[in-house]
Structure 1
Amino acid sequence: MVEARIRVIYGDTDQMGGVYYANYFRYFEFARGEYFRARGGSYREVEREGLALPVVEATASYKSPARYEDVLLVRARVSEVKRVSLTFTYEIFREGGPDTLLCTGRTVHACVGRDGKPTRLPDMVVRLLHAAP
């Protein structure tokens, strides 16, 4: 698991003052990048191998709104690795207050080659996903 911190900017909020629902997916993406970096790699390395890990499924469950200036703690973990896909799960909390769960989510990623066709996850990616932070 990796914990990433991000501060809510004004542009992330909606007319009601809460974080606009789609922005939680941006926070998930931010945490995924931090996950790779914490393990000594980067998504760019995957791309250099001629591969991509597009999101093929994404879900979020909203529990309580985040607000402007909140510092969010985004926990990301790889919950499943298959032959040609992997799944990340997420939890978002407001930092500095009571441990209030704001949002949970999940993204499923396919491994595809330059031709856009599914391909086996290379060993280097599997090792990177399971490396200790």
Structure 2
Amino acid sequence: MEFHLPLRVYIEDTDAGGIVFYVNYLKYMERARTEFMRTLGFGKAAVGNNGLMFVVSEAHVKYRRSAQLDDCLDVSANLSKLGRAGMTFYQEVYRGGELLCDGDIRIACVDCETRRPKAIPDAMRAALAAQTVSQPSGTHTD
């Protein structure tokens, strides 16, 4: 399943020149992953109630073009790899048909108290496995 989240660029996302500040692309990707999980029935509260947290353990991002104030963006969240205690998303940010930014974001599942790796619960893992796309990670480096 390819998940897409439409977003608009607001003044708070930009620098003095009206260009999106680079770190905000990571925020956009975070929002898309969060909404992807919510569509599977795993909102932030559901994850926290299981004593889990999902944290970014790696991010490989390529910035290709700049988004600007008031642009309408489309942010994808495609689960490309699912492991026992983590997953990797391949994500893209588009403006119309133009690719602005893409990358592989590795997410680790950790225990809320110990912050140590913890296996993704079986029900969540099954739901995620059904959504994994067969796109290999690392395709953003070209």
TM-score by length of 1: 0.90
Does structure 1 residue 102 correspond to structure 2 residue 124? no
Q: Distance in 1 between matches of 2:106 and 2:45?
A: 19
Deviation at 1:118, TM superposition (A): 0.9
User: Which whole-Å CA distance do the structure 2 matches of 1:24 and 1:58 have between them?
Assistant: 12
1:44 Cα deviation after fit: 2.2
| Aligned match of 2:57 | 56
**Counterpart residue number, 1:122:** 121
Where do 5+ consecutive residues of structure 2 fail to align?
132-142
Q: CA RMSD in A?
A: 1.4
Give, in whole Å, the separation in 1 of the partners of 2:48 and 2:126.
16
Q: Is the 8 A contact 2:75 2:93 kept in 1?
A: yes
- Match for residue 45 of structure 2? 44
Partner of 2:138: none
Percent identity of the aligned residues? Answer: 36
**Post-superposition, which runs of at least 4 consecutive aligned residues in structure 1 deviate over 6 A?**
none
Displacement of 1:38 in angstroms is 2.0
Q: TM-score, normalised by structure 2?
A: 0.84
2:93 aligns with: 92
Count of aligned pairs between the two proteins: 129
Deviation at 1:36, TM superposition (A): 1.1
Which secondary structure state, in structure 2, belongs to the residue aligned with residue 16 of structure 1?
coil
1:6–1:71 CA contact under 8 A, matched in 2: yes
| C-alpha distance in structure 2 between counterparts of 1:75 and 1:81, whole Å | 17
Secondary structure at the aligned position of 2:110 is classed as coil
Query: Where does the alignment leave 5 or more consecutive residues of structure 1 unmatched?
Result: none
Contact residue 52 and residue 111 of structure 1 kept, 8 A: yes
Contact kept? 1:112, 1:118, Cα under 8 Å = yes
